[in-house]
Amino acid sequence: MDIFRHFWLLCAVWCGIGNAIYFRRGLRQSITDKRITEKEANRSTVVVLLIIFVPCMIFWVLQMTSGPQATHDSETWQPIQRNIEYAVMVIYWISLIVWVWLLRGAESISKYFNLAGHIHKFTNHPLVFKGIVLLGAYFFIKG
């Protein structure tokens, strides 16, 4: 089996589902300490899952419909699939920038990652997340 043939499916499972499980396990102590409700923990876990799982599955379907020569790299895909992939990426990046910079998303990320205990306290600041998003957007635009 060619691992790159199913790269996006593996990414959806490992990064999407795996990260959601890891994130939810981290929130367990915060629920016990009453710093977050079960409902809030479930909602944030589903968001973490969907943000990663959905685009990976879209990319996998696009790759599979692009023919047997297609690899995980969209440059090997048919033009229509490559254009759809690019549109999905642009929509995700614009949505992320708007949410993090204009809709207090950086504060939300900081709060939940702090509650889950997955990052160091010195990096747990909304400005750090805003910077990461800007850096990622820069590299996306640069190509």
* Sign of the dihedral defined by the CA atoms of residues 10, 56, 128, 46, in that order: negative
90: its two tokens: 């642009």
Torsion of CA 10, 16, 18, 22, to 10 degrees: 160
Query: Which pLDDT does position 23 carry in this prediction?
Result: 82
- SS percent in the chain: helix, strand, coil, step 5: 80, 0, 20
Query: Which pLDDT does position 83 carry in this prediction?
Result: 94
Tens place of pLDDT per residue across the chain (143 aa): 577 778 899 899 998 898 888 888 888 888 888 888 888 888 888 888 988 899 999 999 999 999 888 888 888 899 999 999 999 989 988 888 888 888 877 787 777 777 777 666 666 777 777 887 888 888 878 76
How many domains are there within the chain?
A: 1
SS3 46: helix
Q: Domain of 9? A: 3-142
